[in-house]
Every structure is written in structure tokens, then in C-alpha cells.
Chain A
Amino acid sequence: MTDLQNGYEPIDEVEALVWAAGDYVQASDDLRPRVLETARMQCREQRARFYLRQAAVLVALLAVFTTTSSDRMDKAAGQQGLVAWTGSDWLFARAQMKATWDGDYGSGLVDAFTELRSRQAEVLRLTW
């Protein structure tokens, strides 16, 4: 009795008996779909985890880039002594100041806003 697949030849009766019973136990019918489905699901999850990791790295890089740009803008603004005027407080304070001279808060606010825009344009020109 020869196992043609493996070139194994049983040398006595016991080995021959055992060899002959080799195909008696089989895998159950549902094992194949179970294995393939689980493997596919696992691969999908693996791919999703990979894309999530990529996205996280991208977000982290963007965050670093944005912070760096913002720092550069602040630094440029600081060099011009203009950091303080970026908030709305400055706008209203400036409008109040102009209003005390002119007596018209509305036109003071328009003047302050125009001044703010021109300063912002100046800072942007310096930064970029």
C-alpha cells in the first residue's frame, strides 16, 4: 500500500490499518464558508484600520502645519506691534475713542473697521 502523494509506504499491519483510516475523519461542510467569511471580514477590518491610521496621521500633519503657520503669522504681527488689534475688543475700543472726538459712534466704528482691514492687509502682505 503506497501513499502516492507523499511516497509513504506502511511497513507493517498496524501502520497499514492506520494509513487506510486517514480519510475517515473529514472537515464539516460549514467550515469552508466560515473560514472564508471570517478571513474576508478580518481583511476588511484590517484595511479599515489602515485607512483610519492614515487619516489620523494626515490630521496630525495638518494640525502641525496649521499651528506652525499660525505661529508664523503671530510672529509677523508681533514684529509690527499689531498683535493687540486682532480682537473685536480693539475694534470697539478704537470706535469709542474716535466717537469721543467726533461725537458719532457709528462713523467711529466704520473708521476703526477700515483701519483694521488695512492693517490686516499689511500683515498678510508681510507674512506671505
Chain B
Amino acid sequence: MAAKTDFAQCVQQCTDRLLEDGVGALGLLFDLTSHRLVRFAVALTRHQQDAEDAVQAALVRVASRPRMLGSADCPWAYLLRMVRNEALLIIRRQHRSTPVNNLADLVTWCRVDELEREETYREVWSALRALPPEQAEVVVLKIWEGMTFSQIGRILDISPNTVASRYQYARTKLAKRLSKQTREVHRD
């Protein structure tokens, strides 16, 4: 990843600390990345518990072999890849079916001043859950992680064109499902 974002640089610093201090510095890496990793894994596994299991497996592996992460060009991209691999393993093992519109298993949080928007957030997550995992992961990496198609392609081991086409399909589906919310945004 040529131009590292601020966040990727923070992950790099945490990785350096992990290499120096060992498992004691894992807490820093956890605090920095857990939310994003869980969000990414939830989009893939569509289940909070499975997502957390994937994140836990990846971080525990990082703690036992920090050099693996330290030797990566971009530790943040490497970490996302590790979580993705763990999530895919869990998906293959569990075959769990989760109702798209039921977000009961998710641990959610909404700022007090955004409570009126909670319904929209729920719709977004329901729409995201309805996407195939390979499209959902592209959406997460593009919109929430702010990555380019080429960066995403490197994480997912696919070409930037494939990433772009998956993203377009996903965006179309999301637009269809979220049409009511977008109309409300226009009205506001």
C-alpha cells in the first residue's frame, strides 16, 4: 500500500510496540483495531459471535507470532486479511443462517444525539447483511476503511476491476434497499 493512511500508520506503531513488548502490548492493538475488525468480520459472517471469534483468533495469532505482522508491508492490510481468512473458515465450519432483518444478535451503539437516525442505521446494516459476503466486504473496505479498489484487490487477492464491479453491484442493491432512507435525506 503506497500511501499509508494515518490509521495504517497507527497500526504500524502498535505492531512495533508488540514486537518490542510482546503480548503486553496487545491491548493497544486491540483498542485501536477491534471495532473496525469486528465490523468487517460481521459483514462477512453476518453474525456477531462468529465475527468476534474470527477477530479473537486473528489477534491471538498475532500475539503469539508478532513478527508475522511486523514483517508485512502494511500491517493493517495484513490484519484485515487475517481476520478475513478466519471469518471464511468459520463460515465454512458453521453454515449458520441469520435472518437478514433481525439484528438482535448484533451489539449496537448509538450516540444520544443520533437516536432518531438509529432506524436508518438498522436499515443500512440489514441491507448490508442481505448482500453476498464478497460484495459486503468490498463495501466495508471501500466506504468504512476508505481504501482504493487496488488496495482492496490486494487484500482480497482479486483484480481492481473485479473489486470495482462487485462494488457497483453492491451499491445498486444497497440503493434499492435504502431508497426510502435516501428520499428522507433529500426531504431533510
Contact = CB atoms under 8 A, between A and B. Distances in A.
B181 interface: yes
B138 to A, nearest CB: 12
Interface stretch (A15-23, A53-61, A72-80, A103-111): A15-23
Contacts of B121: 20-21, 24
A125 interface: no
B182 A14 contact: yes
Interface stretch (B51-59, B83-91, B94-102, B154-162): B51-59
Interface residues of B, number: 49
Q: Which of A16, A21, A40 has the most CB of B within 10 A?
A: A21
B113 to A, nearest CB: 13
B42 interface: yes
A31 B52 contact: yes
A39 B107 CA distance: 23
B49 to A, nearest CB: 9
A3 interface: yes
Interface residues of A, number: 33
Given A16-B185, A46-B64, A27 B5 contact: no
B132 interface: no
B112 interface: no
Interface of B: 5-7, 22-23, 26-27, 30-31, 34-35, 38-39, 42, 48, 52, 55-56, 59-60, 63-64, 106-110, 117-118, 120-122, 124-125, 128, 139, 143-147, 171, 174-175, 178, 181-182, 185-186
8 contacts: A15-B171, A17-B120, A18-B124, A18-B139, A18-B143, A18-B174, A22-B39, A42-B60
Can you list the 7 inter-chain pairs with the closest CB atoms, starting with the nearest?
Answer: A6-B146, A8-B146, A39-B63, A21-B124, A21-B121, A24-B121, A13-B182
Given A20-B120, A27-B55, A32-B34, 17 more contacts: A5-B7, A7-B146, A18-B143, A18-B144, A23-B109, A24-B108, A24-B118, A24-B122, A26-B35, A26-B107, A26-B109, A31-B34, A31-B38, A35-B26, A36-B26, A40-B63, A43-B23
Interface of A: 3, 5-8, 10, 13-28, 31-32, 34-36, 38-40, 42-43, 46
